[in-house]
Each structure stands twice: as structure tokens, then as C-alpha cells.
Amino acid sequence: MNDILYAPWRDEYVTNEKIEGCVFCHISSSQEGSDEELHVLYRDEHCFMVMNRYPYTPGHFMIIPHLHTDKLEELPSQTWLHMSGLAQKSVRLLKEGFGAHGVNIGMNLGKVAGAGIAEHVHLHIVPRWKRDTNFITSIAQSRVYSTDFIKIYQKIKSLIPEYIG
């Protein structure tokens, strides 16, 4: 018996034009006017924050340096410290403003470490809630996204001025 999981929101992933080169560099170099289309939450001279289009949990976003590198050890210390500061502020945003019970922070450095986009380092910020996983994740290796992606993006974006600056 074959089970079918209906996921119409993934149509964009399948039919969208492929970006040539690094998707993070594409977002980094894009005009601020396209931030909503690209789901950019924040940008400054060192890095930007963008929603993960295929999130682990609702509200999962990433902090990404503008500098294209796959080596954390070669990232300028100033950029890394700035990213760390944004991570601290992001945790507060997710807990206080978004109601998360906890937060996972992590980096997958290299393809063998699980990086989906291994050529450009990025820091994952993943909100967590009590009982946010269920049998579907364990048995079917699938996730159920319980809310609308765009509504989550707009909510987090509205919290940026208060928590990030």
C-alpha cells in the first residue's frame, strides 16, 4: 500500500525557477524591495535573517553572513560576534514575542554534517514548543506544519523592530 501525503504548498518548490549559484548570495544581493518575496526578516552590513522555506517548526529562520564562505573558521570575528548577538536577540524574540517554550540554535558545517546549502555558512534559529513533534515525524519522516508560513513570516517581521532593532 502506498500512502500519499498531499502537500500543495510544495508546488512552488517544484515549479519555481532555479536560482543559479548560491541562493543565500542571491538573497544577500537582492534589493530591499524584494525582501517580502524572499522572506527576509532583517538585514544589516554584516548579515541578514531569512525564514527557512522548509522549516523544522513554524518560525524557523536563519542568520546568514553576507560573506560567501563555507568555512566558519574563516568568517571574520566581527561578523561571527555580530551573528551571535543577533542569535541572542532572536531567542528573546521567539520566547517573549512568539511564545516559544524553547529554541534550538545550530549550524551544519558541510554536506556530510547535514547542510542543505553547504557552500554558505548559516545559523539556524528554531523555535520549539512542548509536544511539537508527533508520530508523523517519528514514523513517516514527515512534518506537519500547523500554521500558514506567510502569517508566521509577517508576525516575526513585525517583532523585529522591538527585539532586533
Instruction: Return the active site residues.
Output: 122
**CB < 8 Å & 24+ apart, contacts of 113-118:** 117/22, 117/23, 117/24, 118/70
d(CA 63, CA 15): 26
**Cβ–Cβ under 8 Å, residues 160 and 90:** no
DSSP state at residue 141:
S
The sheet carrying 40-43 orders its strands as: 40-43, 47-51, 61-65, 123-128, 102-106
Q: Dihedral through CA 114, CA 46, CA 161, CA 100, nearest 10?
A: 20
Q: How far is CA 89 from CA 81, 116, 121, 149, in A?
A: 13, 25, 19, 22
